[in-house]
Amino acid sequence: MHFLIIGGSDAGISAALRAHELDPNCEITLVLADDYPNFSICGLPFFLSGQTPDWRSLAHRTEFPGIQLIPNHTAESIDPIRKAVLIRGSGETRELLYDKLLIGTGARPVRPAIEGFDLPGVFPLHTMEDSFAFHRFLEQHEPKSAIIVGAGYIGLEMADALVHRGLKVTVASRTETILATVDSSFGGRVEAELKSHGVEVCNRVEARSIGRDGDSLVVVGSQDFLATADLVLVAVGVRPNSELGFTAGVTTGIKGALCVDRLMQTNVPDIYAAGDCVETWHRLLNGYTYLPLGTTSHKQGRTAAENVLGGNREFAGSLGTQVVKIFDLVAARTGLRDTEARGAGFCPVTVEKTFWDHKAYYPGARELHIRITGDCHTGQLLGAQLLGHTDSEVSKRIDIFAAALFHEMNIESLNDLDLSYTPPLSSPWDPVQMGAQAWLNETSRVEQMAHECH
């Protein structure tokens, strides 16, 4: 059997490796648009900051036994009747036949309607080539200042990276608060962290144009925003790179992403799809959404490969678990926020409390902020957000919530978890459990007040 994979990032590589594990005799061909298979795009800010000086170290792996790689080629069309894919590289085209096909073409950066987007010194950041162009500019021009349009994960990690390199940074966000994937109270604390490191933050700004003033770039936006810098980074999100599948007859859905079932099959026979180009099954919503995450892409690719080789494995679904480090602060979330839960038909209550990350008598205790969202009628855990110092094991604790959500636990049952304890790292009741108790106490108090009012 010939298993052809289009795309050499998380989903494609994960699928290729799993297929080879399951059947070393399977003929596997992987077509990738560049020369960087399985590189960590999430690591680009740390390469550009200088903290990871050698870009080669971003490679998850360099050996691909049993897999034929065809780098620097793009797939132009799929003929599902003949089971053929037309690829182009170095100005020439050729055709590849397949028995089973996986589309793992990922996502591309949103290109906002900003005049001057193509000016020298204005950059997106999504691929290895993007990072090389950015790095060359940093090395050759030695800029002293930067404007970042967008305040999501990449934008804020790059604010950290550029400050680390000694640049003066301005962040322009169109949202009410930065890092809109968490609630505004947490976004405000992240903003304070940025400002404490000299970053200027401007919210509710829609960038409209980029122009030149001598050697400098000038960004103009709503709310009378006007800022000047030596370079501009535009990082305002991504959209699914789904055109290849669409033109082959694959159904598309949310935001134009390819529709798949939980076996990662499309509606076209023998064509699978996975990664940032597809819709994602959400365990809590019990339906599909568009949620591009590297962790999800790896799982989807693995699932697709198992089914290509005759398995019957379902993608278990995502909870949107995410974490980001911004200077000395870590922000994380999993599941649904209050507004998302309400929109999905739950009756959510969100309670925020602050605890010490370990016993206060042991040196170095830090405040850990926890927001828990649950259904006020059933007590079902719906989501959690955490914010704390880099020493506070935020990622460990958001993973506890993620595991609980995966197994449909209610908030009360968090107290039954047998979690580890030693004074330098936690408390007899871990902050996760203290947060659960705070939620239970608050909802009980509200219920009592409502009962007394009646």
3-state secondary structure 407-443: CCCECHHHHHCCCCCCCCCCCCCCHHHHHHHHHHHHH
Q: Could you give the residue ranges of the DSSP H alpha helices within 314-393?
A: 338-343
- For 322-430, list the strands marked E by DSSP: 322-326, 329-335, 348-356, 367-375, 381-389
User: What is the C-alpha radius of gyration for the chain, rounded to an integer number of angstroms?
Assistant: 24
Is residue 220 in some structural domain? yes
pLDDT tens digit string along 78-131? 999 999 999 999 889 999 999 999 999 999 999 888 999 999 999 999 999 999
- Of 197, 215, 234, the position where a domain reaches its end is 234
What lies within 8 Å, CB to CB, of 384 at 6+ separation is 333, 334, 335, 370, 371, 372, 373, 398, 401, 435
State the average pLDDT for the chain. Answer: 94
Q: What is the mean pLDDT of residues 279-294?
A: 96
User: In this model, does residue 446 exceed pLDDT 60?
Assistant: no
- Per-residue pLDDT at 302: 98
Buried-exposed string 137-171: b where 16+ CB fall within 10 A, e elsewhere: bbeeeebebbbbbbbbbbbbbbbbbbbbeebbbbb
pLDDT tens digit string along 321-379? 999 999 999 999 999 999 999 999 999 999 999 999 999 999 999 999 999 999 999 99
Is residue 320 in some structural domain? no
- Considering the entire predicted model, what is its pTM? 0.93
Residues 99 and 243 reside in one and the same domain? yes
Are 104 and 292 a contacting pair, CB within 8 Å? no
Residues 80 and 131 reside in one and the same domain? no
Are 186 and 179 a contacting pair, CB within 8 Å? yes
CATH number where 67 lies:
3.50.50.60
Amino acid occupying residue 294: G
Q: How many CA atoms lie within 13 A of 253 on its CB side?
A: 17
Q: Which residues are part of the catalytic machinery?
A: 42
Which DSSP symbol is given to 172?
A: E
Residues 367 and 436 reside in one and the same domain? yes
Residues 263 and 366 reside in one and the same domain? no
- Of 187, 204, 234, the position where a domain reaches its end is 234
- Backbone CA torsion sign across 27, 33, 37, 43: negative
294-308 vs 10-22: helix crossing angle, rounded to 10: 30
Tokens of 192: 């304070």
Are 174 and 163 a contacting pair, CB within 8 Å? no
pLDDT tens digit string along 185-199? 999 999 999 999 999
Residue 226 sits in which domain range? 122-234
